[in-house]
Amino acid sequence: MDIEALVVTHVGRLADRADRRRTDRGAGGRPGVIARTWASLKLLVAVVLSPPGSALVAWRAARNHLHAKQTMEALPGVIARLSSGRSGGALGRVATIDASTPLVVTSDLHRCSAGRVDLVGAQDNRDLYVAMLDWYATTNTTLVENGDVEDFWMVGGSAWGSAYDLLRLGGAALVGRLGDGLRQATYREQLRRIVANNAAIYQQIQSHFAAAGRYHRTVGNHDDVFADERLTAALSEHVGPVVMSDWIVLRSGDEVEAIILHGHVADGWNGPGRSTLGKLSSWMADLLKDAPIPVTPDDLPSPTRTRELLSSRRRNGLLRVSPRFGASSAYDSLDEELLFDALGGAATVGPWILMGHTHFPVLQPASDTGARWWRYANSGHGLGAGLVTAIEWPGDDPAPRSPRLVAWVWADHPDWMDLVGSEATTHHQGRPVARIELTPSPDGRRLHAVRERAKGARAEPDTLRG
């Protein structure tokens, strides 16, 4: 074992010892002394550096947003090259799937290690995702996890989370073989812990999808470590064969029916090669959650947001960010309105664009101008309160095919069981699970929720009760 791996292993054991003591005292879900102390030190440094740092961030944000707009302007050419069958080079890794293959596309799952950063567990979505996977496995559906699947940006929240932060900073500061070795060992250990914390999910992926050659991945920003083929190989050690790509092309003969990408490529704060600001904002958010201060950010969606979606009151629109700094007050940093303009989204022909990244599920959404982006769908995310949204690609339907936007929820949740009804799509460990199809309103400005009646059946035409 290399010295870097020995260091990471030893630090991990010490951190685990501290975390176990806190768990034994019944305080495992909250930041302990180590996490609070480390966050306080970071906060002190941040306060000292904030005057010059704020100016630098503003300058960098404005510059990155200009680069993001240039990327958007170049995307029509990129899509043309993908459609012509080109790959490699500046395009990155491109995978091709036959468009007649049934797919489920999820994204922004943000699976992480145990502790405060375990957002999947906090939202009661681990078993919900397992139930989803089990249902799709029985229909020979191929699973595409479209970026931000594992989260390597979140830090803190526990002794290990603080140690991981220190190790990651050390790996970034060191150069040469030593720095590379420390980064590899740190990310491999974090991946091991993420898999262990979400063991049931990875067992499903391994046995029902990867083993059958039905598991594809794209690289997002929070899991950008998989741009390194060595870390992709480390993931394969846990789940079996995995195809890791930057773009996935759904092709039928000479025709490209859809292109799947995470979406951060057009983001000034999180795009490939310019994600420093995104990492910094994520790091600061984790710092504030651990520091002993009276106000801490809580960015997880509440049950009220799930009920809003199931009540057919969720907006089906495009994001707009600051034209100067490329971000909004809600921390959004991808301008879908600009992307709509750049790609000529009002067209009714051409490949579907299937994305994630924004955490907002949409299907054929309406622009601020009222025009519809007819060939766009966004899968949303897996961190809703008892809610996971996804895109289904009906490959076994005859062409021309159109994606479906769906939501999976616990049907017995007291905050929305009156909306879902008593008929479940499937069950997991005795709990009913419902699949809800989300369809755009006639003007495209709202998502309507309609219930799945039975396994394999199409959704009812009537919306759920509001």
pLDDT, position 85: 84
**Distance of alpha carbon 444 from its chain centroid, rounded?**
24
From the CB of residue 430, how many other CB atoms can be counted at a distance below 10 Å?
Answer: 6
181 DSSP assignment: H
Buried-state track 84-100, b at ≥16 Cβ within 10 A, e below 16:
eeebeeeebbbbbbebb
Scan for tokens 């690289």, then name that residue.
219
Position 329 scores a pLDDT of 87
User: pLDDT value at position 461?
Assistant: 40
DSSP-H helix ranges across 138-198:
159-173, 176-197
**pLDDT attached to residue 16:** 95
Bridge partners, residue 387, by sequence: 384, 409
Alpha-carbon distances of 341 from 83, 101, 344, 356, rounded to whole Å: 20, 30, 5, 18
Joined together, the tokens standing for residue 12 give: 């991990």
- Beta-strand (E) ranges in 255-402? 255-260, 314-315, 352-355, 362-363, 376-378, 387-393
Q: Rounded CA gap, 278 and 140, in Å?
A: 37
The b/e string for 66-81 (b: 16+ C-beta within 10 A; e otherwise) is eebbebbeebeebbee
Structure confidence at residue 464 (pLDDT):
56
Which bin fits 372, alpha (ψ -120 to 50), beta or left (φ > 0)? beta
Report the pLDDT value the prediction gives residue 376, as an integer from 0 to 100.
97
The tokens of 240 are what? 């079996």
CA–CA gap between residue 369 and residue 282 (Å, rounded): 32
List the pLDDT tens digit at each of the 466 positions of the chain. 689 999 999 999 999 999 999 887 876 667 889 999 999 999 999 999 999 999 999 999 999 999 999 999 999 999 999 988 877 667 789 999 999 999 999 999 999 999 999 999 999 999 999 999 999 999 999 999 999 999 999 999 999 999 999 999 999 999 999 999 999 999 999 999 999 999 999 999 999 999 999 999 999 999 999 999 999 999 999 999 999 999 999 999 999 999 999 999 999 999 999 999 999 999 999 999 999 987 766 779 999 999 999 999 999 999 999 999 999 988 899 999 999 999 988 888 899 999 999 999 999 999 999 999 999 999 999 999 999 999 999 999 998 999 999 999 999 999 999 999 777 999 999 999 999 999 999 999 999 999 754 444 444 444 554 4
- Two tokens, residue 419: 């909306």
In the structure encoding, which two tokens stand for residue 38, read together? Answer: 């480390």
Main-chain dihedrals φ then ψ at residue 210, nearest 5 degrees: -60, -45
pTM for this prediction: 0.94
> Strand, helix or coil at 408?
strand
Name the residue among 185, 172, 317, 333 with its Cα closest to residue 267. 333
Beta-strand pair 446-452/431-440: antiparallel
Which tokens go with 205? Answer: 């992926």
| Token digits of residue 287 | 């710092």
